[in-house]
Structure 1
Amino acid sequence: MIKFKPQYETFAILLLFWFLFTLDFSLWNSIVGTIISVIITRFSFGIVYDDSDFIVRIPNVFILIRYSFRLIYEIYRASFLQIIRILKKDNDSVIVKVELDITDPFLITIIANSITLTPGTITVDAVDNILYVLYIKDDGKDGEKLKKDIKNRFEKYFIKKG
């Protein structure tokens, strides 16, 4: 298999997504897409790739698909629980410090954004592998229970087994 330099792969992926999102293959759109893809590729040096290889490691596509289904389930589940809390006027909130076992900034960002997407929780800050999460307390749910839930529902997908 031919291995291209990371900057060429980044450019090709960006241009492909440009055409997929615009669905316009005219000459003018192709020129604009090429220019924007070149600019983004140049600014991505040191963030997405370096001289030798990609810096950001994207998880296996099957893990991402499973994670996406879990995230959608959690969003709907939390939505209904949040409706019940609103109707009961049970809206006490607290900030909890959650220390993740993973250290990859990309994966931590995915988990932090997933927490924020879930109703009743917001990731307030992230420092290294520590997330500060604001959540609306459940009747029997304390901070320790929330930490375990985050690890069991979100982080477990990205922990390597074995």
Structure 2
Amino acid sequence: MINITKNNKLFFILLIFWMLFTFNFSYLNLIAGTAVCFIITRLSYAILYNKKRYSLKIPRIKVMIKYFFNLMLEIYKSSFSYMIRIIKKDCEPFIVEVELKVKDPLVITIISNSITLTPGTLTVDINDNKLTVLALKNCDDREMVVRTEIKEKFEKIFIKA
């Protein structure tokens, strides 16, 4: 019963956001918004709840703020680094597999999206906690360098938490 109540809260929150983002209060828009919010709420029920309780574990806000500033710094540094490499034509693409220590699907998704946001890297595939990453590097031990960078710059923040 508690899950149904929380699910209704999710529905109303989504509906409020729908109305705020569209800022159109016509009957057709309200009906469409209600239908879309209902469908999203119903489809997300199995993802958000298990049989006993709310099952999605979100990292603490302090960790996410630290991670956000770290990500912005990495994007900034990497953009200048790859701008120079592209101008010099001094980079070769390669694929590397990185196995993460974290098991939480949300954290793995955050890390893979961060890799994709960082210039010069792209997450190609996710298999459990193993990421397949396309990267542009020009050093000799490039696969080990990419693995170490991902683990040190992205995953380490969530492991400490």
Answer whether TM exceeds 0.5 for this pair. yes
Unaligned ranges ≥5, structure 2: none
User: Partner of 1:146 in structure 2?
Assistant: 146
% of aligned pairs identical? 47
User: Partner of 1:42 in structure 2?
Assistant: 42
- Provide the secondary structure at the position in 2 that maps to 1:46: helix
User: Partner of 1:159 in structure 2?
Assistant: 159
User: Partner of 1:122 in structure 2?
Assistant: 122
Counterpart AA for 2:13: I
- Contact 2:3–2:54 (CA under 8 A) maintained in structure 1: no
Counterpart AA for 1:9: K
User: Partner of 1:86 in structure 2?
Assistant: 86
Unaligned ranges ≥5, structure 1: none
- Provide the secondary structure at the position in 2 that maps to 1:44: helix
User: Partner of 2:109 in structure 1?
Assistant: 109
Show CA shifts across 1:87-126 (max 9, x none).
Answer: 1111212111111110011110111111011111011111
71 and 54 in structure 1: CA distance in 2 versus 1, 3 angstrom threshold: same
The root-mean-square deviation of aligned C-alpha atoms, in Å, is 2.3
**Alpha-carbon offset, residue 160 of structure 1:** 4.2
Show CA shifts across 1:49-89 (max 9, x none).
Answer: 24432222111223222212221221121111111111111
Counterpart AA for 1:111: I
- Contact 2:102–2:159 (CA under 8 A) maintained in structure 1: yes
13 and 140 in structure 1: CA distance in 2 versus 1, 3 angstrom threshold: farther
Work out the CA distance in 2 between the residues paired with 1:140 and 1:95: 14
TM-score norm. by structure 1 comes to 0.85
Counterpart AA for 1:122: L
121 and 86 in structure 1: CA distance in 2 versus 1, 3 angstrom threshold: same
**Alpha-carbon offset, residue 4 of structure 1:** 7.4
123 and 30 in structure 1: CA distance in 2 versus 1, 3 angstrom threshold: same
101 and 61 in structure 1: CA distance in 2 versus 1, 3 angstrom threshold: same
Aligned residues: 159
